[in-house]
Amino acid sequence: MKDSVKKWERTRAKGKTKFVIKATLFMTLWIWVVGSLLTGLFDRLISGTPPITINFDGTNLIILLIISVPLSFYFWWFMESTYKEDIVSMSQEEPTESE
């Protein structure tokens, strides 16, 4: 059995809700931190402001959360469809006992 199939089986056993929450938080925080750092870097390069800081803007954080939830559901759907395709292809590859 493929490693990716085994890994997805472990993930899906924990449930869709847990996956969506973890993926949403991960994406939101990752995009927020990287976006803030890049914004700070560009501000520093353009205007010579002090060292790079992470600006806390609650509006951006809420928007990122709203965007990340549907993306997390999409990732679940995509991984489920890939998993099902892999299961079908693996079952077709297995030789039957009558041969």
More reliable by pLDDT, 99 or 17: 17
C-alpha distances out from residue 21 to 13, 15, 43, 53, 80, Å: 15, 10, 32, 27, 17
**Residues 9-19 pLDDT 10s:** 999 999 999 99
**Residues 33-87 pLDDT 10s:** 888 778 777 777 777 766 666 666 778 788 888 999 999 999 999 999 999 998 8
